[in-house]
Amino acid sequence: MKKYQSVVVGGGPAGITAALYLLRGGLNIAWVEKLAPGGQVLLTETIDNYPGFPQGVKGFELIDRFAAHLEEFNYDKYMDEVQNIQIGEREHRIKLSEDWMQADTAIICTGASWKKLGIPGENRLNGRGVSYCALCDGNFFRDQEIACIGGGDTALEESLYLAKLVKKIYLIHRREAFRASKIYQDKVIANPKIEIIYNTIPKEFVGEQDLESLTLVNLKTNKTFSLKVSGAFVFIGLKPENLFLPEEIKTDEYGFIITDIEMRTNIKGIFAAGDIRSKVCRQICTAVGDGATAAQNAQIYLEQIS
């Protein structure tokens, strides 16, 4: 079984940054990514809010630059999926598809994914009007009419944020009442830019090149109708990539890993960084910050136990 000082799980912005800091610290590390380096950034057409790129940057271009930074280093890279982590007294065992490896520290950077509606037009118009992230894409819809879909805290909170930017929001909710906290409900109901449409579900995103309208069905009347919108934000939940996670590692009620501000989990030697963490702001810049913090604290921990 191969042994490492640290294993970084996940090759998105958090994992790449963690690996970079560990390698610059001279550590013997392995880096595991199940698909391709880049994570969610590869799904992003243009990133407009990463410092240093005032004109925006294509997702794949940013990741090419991130990955190029690792090229000068020697380390073990595995294109594989972590299946399990066995917590040890001092060393932890990490299971890939077939092999096991052993490490004093592990930095979990496996990210998250937004839940999709699974309706026609959603994938085709993703990034062309259909979005899952207000902070990422809200600015593209300044002074335009958009729809937001969902009824939980995130849907209402993000709708309130978007209402500051856009001309009008149709907030589509499938039930008679919201399940979000009362404080958000009160604010949404009082906001003149937000029109709430209850008992309604989206049926199709329509548009040639970009989103032009949203087809909806009223569940009470069974009537289909259409809303002319240039943007539609789907806020029906974020799913952590945590299937491999042992139950000893504490998570919040949604399955995101709980850490302290130094990215330490409740288990010694196990750190988490980026979107997999229980936190409010899930962005590339926060993932990068988490990755650096986790790597730095992993090195401090390694010095303490040596």
Q: How far is the CB of 23 from ligand FAD (least distance, A)?
A: 17
Q: Is the dihedral of CA 95, 101, 105, 108 positive or negative?
A: negative
Out of 5, 6, 40, 297, the only residue in the binding site for ligand FAD (CB under 6 A) is 40
User: Which CB, 44 or 293, lies closer to ligand FAD?
Assistant: 44
285 is catalytic: no
Binding status of residue 264 toward ligand FAD by CB under 6 A: no
CA–CA gap between residue 90 and residue 107 (Å, rounded): 15
Check 48, 80, 133, 153 and give the catalytic one. 133
Binding status of residue 44 toward ligand FAD by CB under 6 A: yes
Reference 297, options 271, 273, 277, 274; nearest CA is 271
Out of 19, 29, 41, 94, the only residue in the binding site for ligand FAD (CB under 6 A) is 41
CA–CA gap between residue 56 and residue 52 (Å, rounded): 9
Please tell me the number of Cα atoms within 13 Å of 247 on its side-chain side: 0
In the sheet with 224-228, reading across from the earlier edge strand, the strands are: 200-206, 213-218, 224-228
Q: How far is the CB of 229 from ligand FAD (least distance, A)?
A: 18
71 CB burial (10 A radius; 0-12, 13-18, 19+)? exposed
Out of 20, 109, 172, 211, the only residue in the binding site for ligand FAD (CB under 6 A) is 109
User: Which CB, 15 or 150, lies closer to ligand FAD?
Assistant: 15
Binding status of residue 92 toward ligand FAD by CB under 6 A: no
Check 109, 136, 148, 290 and give the catalytic one. 136
Binding status of residue 12 toward ligand FAD by CB under 6 A: yes
Which span (4-12, 98-106, 190-198, 212-220) binds ligand FAD, by CB under 6 A? 4-12
Binding status of residue 165 toward ligand FAD by CB under 6 A: no
Which span (48-56, 84-92, 143-151, 174-182) binds ligand FAD, by CB under 6 A? 48-56
Q: What is the dihedral of CA 92, 33, 252, 267, to 10 degrees?
A: 20
CA–CA gap between residue 206 and residue 209 (Å, rounded): 9
Binding status of residue 30 toward ligand FAD by CB under 6 A: no
Q: Is the dihedral of CA 204, 121, 132, 51 positive or negative?
A: negative
Give the contacts of 204 (CB within 8 A, at least 6 positions apart).
Answer: 119, 120, 121, 214, 215
Q: How far is the CB of 128 from ligand FAD (least distance, A)?
A: 11
User: Which CB, 34 or 173, lies closer to ligand FAD?
Assistant: 34
Out of 19, 32, 130, 148, the only residue in the binding site for ligand FAD (CB under 6 A) is 32
Give the contacts of 68 (CB within 8 A, at least 6 positions apart).
Answer: none
The tokens for 129 are: 């009007």
Binding status of residue 125 toward ligand FAD by CB under 6 A: no
CB of 140 within 8 A of CB of 130? no
Q: Give me the residues that bind ligand FAD (CB under 6 A), please.
A: 9-15, 32-35, 39-41, 43-44, 47-50, 81-82, 109-112, 133, 136, 241, 244, 274-275, 282-285, 287
